[in-house]
Amino acid sequence: MNFSAQELRQLALPLLACLALLAAGSALITWTEGRHAAAERALTAARAERSQAKERLMRIAEEEREVKEKLEIYRRLKDIGILGEEQRLEWADAMARIRTARELPDLRYRIERQQPLKTVPGKPANVEFYASRMQVVLALLHEGDLLHFLGDLRASGNAYYAVRSCSLGRTGQPAAISGLSPRLRAECEIDLITILDRAAKA
């Protein structure tokens, strides 16, 4: 069926209305799609933020656990004087105290100059480990004196005492009647290790 121009004009209004309805529908879709995209973006951002927050939380929790664990050791090191400047006078006092306390016939020592210890790479620059090598010569009445000496030395603190070598031999002297002449001679090399943390607060 062919329509006249007048009849086609009658179709114009419904066509316009149809187009308007379709345009309204398209606009509605465009608007909701926009909202949808925005909501998805917000969700992605929220998820990223959550991931970041959880990661940060995990890191801080791990750091807290590590700090709590290491802080105890750190405090102990500080308390016994391993952390801090060398206390050479304290060492000398300790040697004298031990000799007297253990009634050692002879005790000679020599502490060499402080040397930095080699450490692993990546360590913070403001933490340094130092070692001062001490050579000790002891005259002993029996072997136990050496063990007591080393024990007392560790207990005196002010450094970490890393024994590098110890030799123990007979003096060759015959046993004295009084029984106080040394029968053994010991020579030890001990590293007196201290740690200097320049970031440490007093």
Partner 1 sequence: MKRLVYFTADDHSVYTWSGGKLAVEAKFPGDDLGVTAFREYLSGRRGALFYAVADLAGEDFHEELIPYLRGADRELVVERRLAQRYRDTRLAAALSLGHVRGERRNERLLLTSFTNTQRLTPWLDALAESEAKLAGMFSVPLLAPALAARLGVRAGRCFVVTANSAGLRQCYVDEGKLRFARLERTLDMVPEALAAFVRSETGRLAQYLSTLRVLPREGPPIQVMVVAPPGQRAAFERTLVSDTRLSFLTVDQTEAVRRVGVKSAPPGVGAEQLYLHLAVRQPPREQFARREDRRSYVLWQLRRAVLAAGAVGLAGCALYAGASWVEVVGARAEADRVQVETRAAQDEYQRITSAFPVTQTTTDNLRATVVEFTKIARQTAPPERALVYLSRVLEDFPLIELDTLQWRVEAQPGRSARAPAAAAGAAAADAARAPTELLEISGRVGTMRRSDYRAITAEVQRFADALRADPAYQVQRTQLPFDVTSEGTLSGDIGTGADTGEAPRFTIVLARSVQ
Cα–Cα distance for residue pair 117/109, rounded to 1 Å: 21
Instruction: Check binding of 126 to partner 1 (CB under 8 A).
Output: yes
Told to check if 11 binds partner 1 by CB under 8 A, we report yes
Tell me if 26 contacts partner 1 by CB under 8 A: yes
DSSP 201: -
Footprint of partner 1 on residues 159-178 (CB under 8 A)? 160, 162-170
Q: C-beta of 41: minimal distance to partner 1 in Å? A: 9
Residues in the chain, how many? 202
Question: Binding residue for partner 1 (CB under 8 A) from 60, 96, 155, 180?
Answer: 60
Q: Calculate Rg over the CA atoms of the chain.
A: 42
| Cβ atoms within 10 Å, residue 48 | 10
Residue closer to partner 1 by CB (options 107, 178) is 107
Q: Which of residues 64-123 bind partner 1 (CB under 8 A)?
A: 64, 66-68, 70-71, 73-74, 77-78, 82-83, 117, 119-120, 123
Q: CA 185: distance to chain centroid?
A: 41
Tokens standing for residue 2: 């062919």
The number of helices, as runs of H, and strands, as runs of E, in the chain is 3, 5
Considering the complex, what minimum distance in angstroms separates the CB of residue 172 from partner 1?
Answer: 10
Binding mask 132-161 toward partner 1 (x if CB under 8 A, else -) reads -----------x--xx--xx--------x-
Among 16-24, 86-94, 106-114, 173-181, the segment contacting partner 1 (CB under 8 A) = 16-24
Q: Write the DSSP assignment of 145-174 as a string of letters.
A: HHHHHHHHHHHH-SSEEEEEEEEEEE--PP
197 near partner 1, rule: CB under 8 A: yes
